[in-house]
Structure 1
C-alpha cells in the first residue's frame, strides 16, 4: 500500500472514530436534558400509568447503554427511528430537508468560491492599494456581523424596499430550477457575505507569502509580468491552503445554515432541527445533529486529503 492510500485509510479510520465519539456525546447530551420526555409530550395532566406505558412504548424504561446501542445499531443500518411528533419515519422526514440544505449550500458555493478566489488574487496583485484596503475592510465588516443581522439587512433593502427578492424562501421540489434559485437568492447572498472573507483572505495571504520565494524573485528578475507570476507560478503552489479553507468553508455552509434557514423560513435540515427542539422531538434532533456532524467530519477529511494531494510534500513530514 502506497503512502497516499495508507494516509487516506488512516484519515477515514480517524473520521469514523470521531463520528462515534460525537454520536456518544449527542446521545448523552440529550439524556442529560432536564425534564421527562414522556411527561413533556403527554402533558402534566397525564396519569402515572399513562406515562409509564408511554415510556415503555418508546423504550425509555431500558437502561441508557442499551438504548444507545439500539439507536447506534439502527443508525448504522439507516434507521433513525420514528418522529415523536407525527410518527413518520425520520429517514423519510429528513431526506427532502437535507436536499434543500445541500441545494442552498451549492448555490452559495457557486457564488462565494469564484468571488473569493478572484478577490484574493486581485488583492494580492494590487497589495496595499486602495482596492486591497477597501476589500479587506468590506470583508472584515461582513464577517464581524452575525448571520441574522446581515439577513435582516438584506431583507430590508432587497425585499421590503426594492422588492427584488422574496423575504421568505419557500421552495417546492416540483418548481423549475431557476425559480428555486431565485427563491434562495437572499439566504445564499447572506451566507456568501459570511464565508467569502475567510476564503478571500486565505487566498491573498497564501499568494503574498509565496511571492517572497526565490523562484518568484527569479521570475520577476526575468521580466515576467506580475499577473502572470501570480496566476502561473504562485497560485498552483498555494492551492493546498486555499483548497483547505474552501472545503472548510463549504463545511460551514452545510452545518452553519441553521440561523439563516430560520430567518428565511427555509425548509431545510436546520429549520427542521429547530422545530423539533421546540416540539421535544428528541429522535429527530439526534438524527439532524448526527447528520450535521457526519457532514462536517467528511468535509474536513476531504480538505485534509486534497491538501496532501495538491502538496505531496505533506506526505513526508520532517
Structure 2
C-alpha cells in the first residue's frame, strides 16, 4: 500500500501545481476583461481625480504582479478578498451562501445520471446491435449534440409551461428537502440528459472492449448466461475507464452549471459568476473560477485512485 500513498501524494503535488498555473491564468484573464470598475461605478462624467481615488482605495493602482501575489497569499489562508461591487462584504461570505446550492444541484443530477447511465450502458452492451442498442445510441448522440440551454428551454416549454414544474428554480429560505427537490428538478434533469448520454456510451464501449478478452470467451464456453458474463466478469474489470468518465462528468456537473443556472435563475455559483462578470466584480469571479478548477482537479485525482485500486497489477506490484 505504500506505493498507493506515494501515488496519491504525487497526484496531490501535481494538482497543487496545476492549481497554481490555473490561478495565474485566471488572474491574467480577469485583468484582460474590458472596462474599468472605478469608471463604471462613478459613471462617464467622473473626473480623473475621482477615478484615481477609487482605484487607490481599492488597490487597483498597484502593479499586476503585486495584486496577484496578495490575492494568492490570501487564498492560501482562506481569504478571497472583498467584493468590489458590494464593498466591504467578504467574497467567501458571498460564495458560501451559493456553494451549497451548486453542490445540491450537482449531487441531485449525479444521483439520477450515474445509475441511469451505467444501467443503460450495461443493457446496450448486453443487447449489442439490437434495435434497443440503435435507438439508445441515436438518442445519446442527439442528447450530446444539443447544447445545455437548448435542452433547458425544451424542458421549460414542455414541463414548465404545462404547470408541472416552475420555470425559475428559486430557493426560498427555510425550504425543506422536498420543496428543494421539486424546484431544482428541471435544472437537474437538464444536466442529467446532457451527461447521461456520454457516460452511457463510454460504459458501453468499455464493456464491449472487454467482451473480446480470453477470460470472457472462457466464461461463455462454460455456458454462462450473457448477463452473468457482463455483470460478474466484464463490469468489474471496466471500473477504471468507467470511473474516469464518471469523474469527468461529475466535474462537469459542478463546473459546467453556469449556463443551466442562468437559464433557470438558480441561486448557485454559476449565476453569481455571471452577475459578477457583468458588474466587473473581479475578486468574486476569480474565487469562483478557482473553486471550479479545484473541484475538477480533485475529482480527477479521485478517478486516478479508484482506477489504481481496481487494478490488481497496480495494487500488488513488486
TM-score norm. by structure 2 comes to: 0.96
1:176-221: CA deviations, max 9, x gaps?
Answer: 1011001010011110110001110111111111111111111111
1-structure distance, mates of 2:32, 2:86: 24
2-structure distance, mates of 1:156, 1:138: 20
Secondary structure at the aligned position of 1:169 is classed as: coil
2-structure distance, mates of 1:142, 1:269: 25
Residue number in structure 1 paired with 2:148: 147
Question: How far does residue 61 in structure 1 lie from its aligned partner after superposition?
Answer: 1.8
Residue number in structure 1 paired with 2:246: 246
1:38-70: CA deviations, max 9, x gaps?
Answer: 212221111111111111111112221111111
1:147-189: CA deviations, max 9, x gaps?
Answer: 00000000001110x3211111001341110110010100111
CA RMSD of aligned residues (A): 1.4
Residue number in structure 2 paired with 1:126: 127
Name which of structure 1's ranges 307-316 and 101-110 shifts more when overlaid on structure 2: 307-316
1-structure distance, mates of 2:33, 2:57: 20
Q: Is the 8 A contact 1:41 1:280 kept in 2?
A: no
1-structure distance, mates of 2:167, 2:154: 11
Name which of structure 1's ranges 124-133 and 41-50 shifts more when overlaid on structure 2: 41-50
Secondary structure at the aligned position of 1:9 is classed as: helix
TM-score norm. by structure 1 comes to: 0.96
2-structure distance, mates of 1:177, 1:36: 42
Question: How far does residue 263 in structure 1 lie from its aligned partner after superposition?
Answer: 0.3
Residue number in structure 1 paired with 2:92: 91
2-structure distance, mates of 1:223, 1:40: 74
Residue number in structure 2 paired with 1:7: 7
Residue number in structure 2 paired with 1:303: 303
Residue number in structure 2 paired with 1:107: 108
Pair 1:212-2:215 in alignment: no
**Structure 1 residues without counterparts, runs of 5 or longer:** none
Secondary structure at the aligned position of 1:111 is classed as: helix
Runs of 4+ in 1 over 6 A off after TM superposition: none
**Structure 2 residues without counterparts, runs of 5 or longer:** none
